[in-house]
């Protein structure tokens, strides 16, 4: 497969709900309007808050000992894309629809956006993933979107299906979208 790249617009780094209000309002939401797609601007901002590079040249989340041993993927019916934070783009890594490997709960099929978090499954990898999905929760809350992080997925099949760096495994899945 030839490398297919989707350039994302730069994330808007101003505005939004004040942090304390977002923390107070944060909750898991499992109801999605499948017709209300996530536009590229919002997608860029979601990916940036999860695993982007900030104005100091650092990741938007802390990583123990600066390991940065995490990966972030977007899955859709058209395939799977790896987020490249340095170039703010998505790089297609598979034409396969991997969403069925995440559909152990009925609401998943209605979510317009699916993120897969990977990491080295060591002392710190799961902590890095937790920091990333918490940032997404706060962003989604600020934008009036629903999200939920999930472990009820076929992690072994997803790990096998994705071209992951050596030692990385699938840790979590996060659905995101606008409420019904």
CB 154 within 8 A of CB 146: no
Q: How far is CA 123 from the centre of its chain?
A: 21
Map out the domains of the chain as residue ranges.
Answer: 5-10+20-178
Positions of E strands within 22-167? 70-76, 79-84, 89-94, 113-120, 145-150
What is the architecture of the domain spanning 5-10+20-178?
3-Layer(aba) Sandwich (3.40)
pLDDT at 2: 54
| 0.75 exceeded by pTM | yes
Q: What pLDDT shows up at residue 180?
A: 86
Which tens digits make up the pLDDT trace of 113-159?
999 999 998 889 999 999 999 999 999 999 999 999 999 999 999 99
Q: What is the DSSP string of 55-69?
A: TTSSBSS--GGG---
Residues of the chain falling short of pLDDT 70? 1-2
| Cα–Cα dist 162/170, whole Å | 9
* Spatial distance between the Cα atoms of 98 and 79, rounded to a whole number of angstroms: 7
């Amino acid at each position: 497969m030839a490398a297919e790249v989707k350039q994302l617009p730069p994330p808007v780094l101003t505005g939004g709900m004040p942090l304390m209000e977002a923390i107070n309002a944060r909750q898991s939401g499992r109801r999605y309007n499948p017709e209300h797609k996530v536009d590229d601007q919002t997608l860029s901002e979601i990916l940036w808050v999860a695993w982007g590079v900030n104005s100091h040249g650092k990741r938007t989340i802390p990583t123990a000992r600066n390991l940065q041993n995490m990966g972030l993927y977007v899955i859709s019916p058209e395939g799977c894309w790896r987020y490249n934070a340095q170039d703010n783009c998505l790089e297609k890594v598979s034409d396969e629809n991997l969403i069925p490997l995440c559909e152990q709960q009925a609401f998943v099929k209605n979510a317009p956006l699916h993120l897969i978090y990977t990491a080295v499954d060591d002392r710190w990898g799961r902590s890095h993933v937790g920091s990333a999905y918490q940032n997404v929760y706060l962003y989604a809350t600020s934008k009036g979107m629903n999200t939920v992080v999930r472990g009820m997925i076929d992690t072994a099949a997803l790990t096998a299906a994705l071209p992951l760096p050596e030692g990385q495994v699938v840790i979590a899945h996060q659905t995101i979208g606008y409420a019904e």
